[in-house]
Amino acid sequence: MRVAAITEPGRLEVLEEPVPGIGSAEVLVRVVACGVCASELDIWRGAAGHATFPWYPGHEVSGVVERVGDAVHAFVPGDPVSVWVTTRGFAEYVAVRAEYCFPAVGVPLELALGEPLACAVNAVELAGVSLGDDVVIVGAGFMGHLVHLLVELRGPRRVFVADARPDALKRAEELGAALTVDVTREAVVDVVGRETGDVGADVTFEVTGVQAALDSLGDLTRMSGTVVIAGYHQGEPRTIPLGVWNWMAFRIVNAHFREVETILRGMARGMRLLTSGSISLAGLVTHRYPLEEIGAALQALVDKPEGFVKATVMP
Amino acid sequence: MRVAAITEPGRLEVLEEPVPGIGSAEVLVRVVACGVCASELDIWRGAAGHATFPWYPGHEVSGVVERVGDAVHAFVPGDPVSVWVTTRGFAEYVAVRAEYCFPAVGVPLELALGEPLACAVNAVELAGVSLGDDVVIVGAGFMGHLVHLLVELRGPRRVFVADARPDALKRAEELGAALTVDVTREAVVDVVGRETGDVGADVTFEVTGVQAALDSLGDLTRMSGTVVIAGYHQGEPRTIPLGVWNWMAFRIVNAHFREVETILRGMARGMRLLTSGSISLAGLVTHRYPLEEIGAALQALVDKPEGFVKATVMP
Amino acid sequence: MRVAAITEPGRLEVLEEPVPGIGSAEVLVRVVACGVCASELDIWRGAAGHATFPWYPGHEVSGVVERVGDAVHAFVPGDPVSVWVTTRGFAEYVAVRAEYCFPAVGVPLELALGEPLACAVNAVELAGVSLGDDVVIVGAGFMGHLVHLLVELRGPRRVFVADARPDALKRAEELGAALTVDVTREAVVDVVGRETGDVGADVTFEVTGVQAALDSLGDLTRMSGTVVIAGYHQGEPRTIPLGVWNWMAFRIVNAHFREVETILRGMARGMRLLTSGSISLAGLVTHRYPLEEIGAALQALVDKPEGFVKATVMP
Amino acid sequence: MRVAAITEPGRLEVLEEPVPGIGSAEVLVRVVACGVCASELDIWRGAAGHATFPWYPGHEVSGVVERVGDAVHAFVPGDPVSVWVTTRGFAEYVAVRAEYCFPAVGVPLELALGEPLACAVNAVELAGVSLGDDVVIVGAGFMGHLVHLLVELRGPRRVFVADARPDALKRAEELGAALTVDVTREAVVDVVGRETGDVGADVTFEVTGVQAALDSLGDLTRMSGTVVIAGYHQGEPRTIPLGVWNWMAFRIVNAHFREVETILRGMARGMRLLTSGSISLAGLVTHRYPLEEIGAALQALVDKPEGFVKATVMP
């Protein structure tokens, strides 16, 4: 079968390998789609300290069960599933433990993005959005949209979304934003101050991964409110006005998760919402590539052409 | 002004009293509506151990600000408000601290029932409904409907509602129930078992206050799931199959709150949802009475005629 | 090897079986001690609905690593360990996954009772004892003592312990109780009322498993306080004065756990405390039996002779 | 009476003012001692943005009840109390609401420092130290010692304390540290790595308020562990290696509190521990000054002479 590997920084190859065997508690899944994640850009560029080469990227897999081990009773061949893997997802097949597969019945498989959805579910749950909260989301990329989608499900009073791209703000409106802020035209701090009587929002999500967004959080959030860092802050250390954050007594939430049980729980919840039709990712996967063009998929994530939200590779 | 009092068990009178004065931090509110609560039935019947007579019932007040103390800046005369009081609500006027008043702009005042909404908000928040949960609500009276309304805001996968009254189940469907169960026709345990693959619901709310509902919870809820006792269980001690609840390791939530800060927080959240239009109680206040007919209002709560959900007194 | 089985209700036999093999991620442990648990009495008597026969009791195992699978690097033969198993503990050997073994270095193995300690750790953590709390523990048997030992570690102001056995109360004093109550001489409600100015305790643990203790909780605990049901309530349904518990707005904690990750986490914490010398179970294992006398061990648990706290079987 | 004021940056004066009157719900307290807090240094230096002049410093008051308002029943003249005030504590008398006073019976009043104790109680509770945790405390000044004292009460496995001052480390040993690290001689990261098998601590407290301590936290704390920022980070924005903190999925706790109910709850808990003898601040108040020498008290806090921990002013 074919599988993509980063053989050295900057070099992506599609290799030929045997289809993996499965143990008695495992499932072989024929990959239908595998989303491209920003964290993979850093490895591709050689900027992720933890990566060793060859690195087999791909961890947002959905597909169809091809074969199951003797001890697996939850799935049969033909079942559509979203799969949790940490690597080797840009391939024709993946072999995984059955408990890492989640039913995706009735969901178009390129939209059954269970892994990023798990991140967003866990972020929103940990943020502790309460009934009637005012919520600000800074950043309306793919993860920002997922967070937004889920925040709307938690009974907020109003959701404000800030971004610099008009098409992103348009999608945020469609997802239910009470107000969107084009940060190239007005300061989000001014808008939130005006709308909340200078009190600030109850919960503020930073979903950009850039320094500038961190700077604004202190002025967007009410005293004793919650600041959620959901962006992926690789590279340079970040500067934080800790004196202000102290003074304001913010609850700071680092929305990143490493415990497998937590990730799986978030994924189960996200897939329940997708399969029941409570949410849909329609419109959020904007670019599709065959496996051979995985380099172009990564490049699209770098270039972010007009209208780009998320790329997926379909082997 | 006129004010209702239970002068002795079974005896309700409308008395004449002076309009209350207000302190510098207080507000005088002209009462527009005051909901009738089941807990007042017990006092009326002389069955509530904590009550002394004369008892001045009425604690679900909404109205219009008539006058404010010197130190009050949050309200001006004419402001519509929902008010937290613990007594004396069936009257023409109530005097309360300004922080016990919540703006009710744009909400029909007989539907601005902040106090029961506070109970429901706190019950749902404490229940910890998570994204994608299956939720069962046993009991579709007024409080059951409020709980249901708010559970739907928390991003569940499915809400199942059980009751014996067809009109209650019809309203539950309109509020978004995935499935309603007429308990005169089928056992809720059978339905939930069938729909969840015999796993049970993640969260089960008991909102009836009767023994029979408690009996069913153990078989409705999944292992390590949450059982919420939101019904008001006055009178006889209740029997609980604690051996089963132990074995199933349920999280048991007693959804009753006595700390003022908690009640006020719930009320603030509920009123935010009402005034922003996120929810509406339209259709849930079914019976209206002038102050002189407060006895009839209480009797309606006893009799529960077809279509009855909630009575309010409008002085 | 020899292994004890309940072949039918009331009949305990020691059978001969092959030493179990181990998989690559497993460990073979030579059992040194296995505690006898009250839950096994019910099975012995045929009173536990979930049990099927033959039932192989024994789930409080400690011992010495005999052999490890290829993939096990955390242990080597000779390591003393406390082991999580759900069955077959009254045997010469048990085979378990390596992550179910916890180091027991420096702890006498008959006192390395990780499983009941896990229950107590989880109960105390879930109870949420806060700094400066007044805590009541009703029941000073083995589990009551474990709970007590751990509550003392959480920084309470005072711990009150109630029981009917003078020797139990004497041990409670040695464990640090501020006050012990001999319930054959005075009502615990009177003592707690007197000591707390009629406010009640912040947290009350019921660790008896009997109806009478449940009756007292409502009067022992302060408004909005926490009631922890840690006793094992098999048999008849229990009666609870739910009207009072509603009115008092208690937080009710059902201190029973079924999720493996929770049990393992509690066991890891408990064993850390034992191996670091923060706590010791010295004096709590009062009766020791060879494997052939397991019947006598169970009978001791029924009879509870003077001075009895806990029996262990040492194959 | 005499009261200290910062009349302009750098200028401290003792003014003569009338003894304050009290309302019916208030208490007049004769001040016996008022601790000097680092936050007051910034105001004195003119570096605290929120302060306006004249500023009346002093918020760590203890004393004796002199007089009570009509509605006060909890206290009588002569009662020793620890008092929550936000200002005007360096004075002969303070007038406060009765619910801001906490009994200090049996505690030397210059050691009845309820307010900083409240901060430490809340920090430790929010940190969520669990039974058996390994805890690192970076910074062994007065607040570091209070945090340490309370962490020892929560049942940790081991507490490691790091500081540059030998006398501070000696006190930390006396408070129960399993290990102290003199950061002028070895890197705390090396010590914690060695002692935890390169896993890191479960909970790490930063109690210094300086940049260097923040830098070290990422390498001291285990994956998915808790980082507590308890230091007071005024002045320059701080730099945080957020990429590492993301990757490690730390729970970040900002141990600063602005809600009055939270502060009062922490103070109640701290005073319960002090008055019951569970803890003592003996040895932590090292410098005492009369009111006229308040300038010298502040200067001592700047200079931190050998053996300095905390200064108090005794009017």
pLDDT, tens digit, for every residue of C165-219? 999 999 999 999 999 999 999 999 999 999 999 999 999 999 999 999 999 999 9
What per-residue confidence (pLDDT) applies to D48?
66
A280: three-class secondary structure by DSSP: coil
Please tell me the distance from the alpha carbon of residue B130 to that of residue A273, in angstroms, as a whole number.
Answer: 11
D269: closest chain C residue by CA: C132
SS3 category, B137: strand
D55 touches D43 (CB < 8 A): yes
Instruction: State the pLDDT confidence band at A233, using cuts at 50, 70 and 90.
Output: confident
CB atoms within 10 A of CB B296: 15
Question: Which two three-digit tokens encode residue C223?
Answer: 């408004």
Contact across the interface for B254 and C246, Cβ inside 8 Å: yes
What does the pLDDT look like over B235-245, one tens digit per residue?
A: 788 999 888 89
Q: Find chain B residues with C-beta within 8 A of C236's C-beta.
A: 243
The DSSP annotation for C49-110 comes to TT--SSB-----EEEEEEEE-TT--S--TT-EEEE--SS--SBSEEEEEGGGEEE-TTS-GG
Q: Do B243 and C251 touch (CB under 8 A)?
A: no
Which residue of chain A has the CA closest to D248? Answer: A258
Q: Which pLDDT score is estimated for C235?
A: 78
- A276-291 burial, b if ≥16 CB within 10 A, otherwise e? bebbebeebbebebeb
Cβ–Cβ under 8 Å, residues D114 and D83:
yes
Q: How far apart are CA A45 and CA A260, in angstroms?
A: 27
Chains that touch A (3 or more CB pairs under 8 A): B, D
Element (H, E) at C210: none
Residues of D in contact with C127 (CB under 8 A): none
Contact, C27 vs C67, CB < 8 A?
A: yes
DSSP classification of residue B251: E
Q: For the purposes of burial, counting CB atoms within 10 Å of the CB of A134, is it exposed (0-12), middle (13-18) or buried (19 or more)?
A: buried
The residue among C272, C274, C275, C280 with the most chain D CBs within 10 A of its CB, best to mutate, is C272
Residue A276 to residue B157, Cβ atoms within 8 A: yes
Q: For residue A43, what pLDDT band results from cuts at 50, 70 and 90?
A: confident
Tokens of C58: 């024994």
Q: Is the peptide bond before B166 cis (omega within 30 degrees of 0)?
A: no
Residues 6 or more apart in contact with residue B271 via CB below 8 angstroms: A132, B82, B102, B103, B104, B112, B114, B117
Going B144 to B150 to B153 to B156, the CA torsion angle's sign is: negative
DSSP state of C19: P
Instruction: Give the whole-angstrom CA distance, residue B171 versus residue B139.
Output: 12
Host H or E run for residue A104: none
Residues of chain A that touch chain B, judged by Cβ-Cβ distance less than 8 Å: 121, 124-125, 130-133, 150, 153-155, 157-158, 268-273, 276, 278
Query: Distance, in angstroms, between C158 CA and closest chain B CA?
Result: 24
**Which chain D residue has the Cα nearest residue C125?**
D130
Q: Which among C89, C87, C139 has a CA at the least distance from the CA of C112?
A: C89
Q: Any idea what the Cα angle at residue D25 is, between residues D19 and D30, rounded to 5°? A: 35
Predicted complex ipTM exceeds 0.90: yes
Q: Quick check: D276 and C157 CB within 8 A?
A: yes
Cβ distance C273 to D154 less than 8 Å, yes or no, reads no
How far A224 CA lies from chain D's nearest CA (Å)?
Answer: 7
Contacts of B222 in chain A (CB under 8 A): none
User: Distance between CA D277 and CA D268 in Å, rounded?
Assistant: 14
CA distances from D223 to A258, C102, D204 (A): 7, 20, 12
Q: What is the pLDDT of residue A266?
A: 98
Residue A184 C-alpha, separation from nearest chain B C-alpha, in angstroms? 28
Spatial distance between the Cα atoms of A55 and C12, rounded to a whole number of angstroms: 57
Chain D: residues touching C (Cβ < 8 Å): 121, 124-125, 130-133, 150, 153-155, 157-158, 268-273, 276, 278
Residue of C206, C246, C259, C263 to mutate, interface with B, max B Cβ within 10 Å: C246
Q: What's the mean pLDDT in C230-236?
A: 86
Name chain D's partners: 3 or more CB pairs within 8 A.
A, C
C239·B235 Cβ contact <8 A: no
The pLDDT tens digits of the residues spanning B193-248 come to 999 999 999 999 999 999 999 999 999 999 999 999 999 888 788 999 888 898 89
D73's tokens = 């029943």
pLDDT at B39: 86
**CA D242 → CA C95, D13, D227, D249, distances in Å?**
43, 44, 12, 10
Q: Rounded to an integer, what distance in angstroms lies between the CA atom of residue B187 and that of residue B216?
A: 9
Q: Which residues of C touch B242 (CB under 8 A)?
A: 214, 229, 233, 237-238, 240
pLDDT tens per residue, range C64-109: 999 999 999 999 999 999 999 999 999 999 999 999 999 999 999 9
Collapsed DSSP state (helix, strand, coil) of residue B161: strand
Sequence-ordered list of residues with C-beta below 8 angstroms from that of A118, at least 6 positions apart, any chain: A84, A263, A264, A266, A267, A269, A270
What is the rounded distance in angstroms from the CA atom of residue B91 to the CA atom of residue B290? 11
The residue of chain D with its CA nearest to that of A258 is D249
**Smallest Cα distance from A150 to chain D, Å:** 21
Pairing mode of beta strands B201-206, A93-97: unpaired
Test the A interface: residue of D246, D248, D252 with most A CBs within 10 Å: D246
Please tell me the distance from the alpha carbon of residue D196 to that of residue D190, in angstroms, as a whole number: 10
DSSP H or E run through D37: none
pLDDT tens figures, B15-52: 999 999 999 999 999 999 999 998 888 888 877 666 78
**pTM listed for this prediction:** 0.95
User: Residue B94 is which amino acid?
Assistant: V
Can you say how many angstroms the Cα of residue B162 is from the centroid of all Cα atoms in its chain? 18
D117 Cα to chain C: minimum distance (Å) = 11
Closest chain A C-alpha to B83 CA, distance in angstroms? 18
Q: Which residues in chain A are closer than 8 Å to B271, comparing Cβ atoms? A: 132
The answer to whether B249 contacts C259, with C-beta atoms less than 8 Å apart, is yes
Cα D1 to Cα A55: distance, rounded to the nearest angstrom: 75
CB D134 within 8 A of CB D161: no
Q: Is A93 left (phi over 0), alpha (psi -120 to 50) or beta?
A: beta
Percent helix / strand / coil, chain D, rounded to 5: 30, 30, 40
Q: Give how far C232 is from chain D: nearest CA, Å.
A: 23
Give the DSSP H/E element, type plus range, for residue C184.
none
Residue from the list A237, A246, A251 with its beta carbon closest to the beta carbon of D241: A237
Q: pLDDT, tens digit, for every residue of B57-83?
A: 999 999 999 999 999 999 999 999 999
Which residues of chain D fall below pLDDT 50?
Answer: none
What is the reported pLDDT for C14?
A: 96
Q: Which of B155, B157, B273 sits opposite A132 (nearest CB)?
A: B273
C302 Cα distance to chain centroid:
16
For B289, counting Cβ atoms within 10 Å of its Cβ (0-12 exposed, 13-18 middle, 19+ buried), the class is buried
Alpha-carbon distance C265 to nearest alpha carbon in chain D (angstroms): 10
DSSP state of B237: P
The Cα–Cα gap between A218 and A237 comes to 18
Backbone φ and ψ for A119, nearest 5 degrees, come out as -60, -45
Cα–Cα dist A35/A110, whole Å: 8
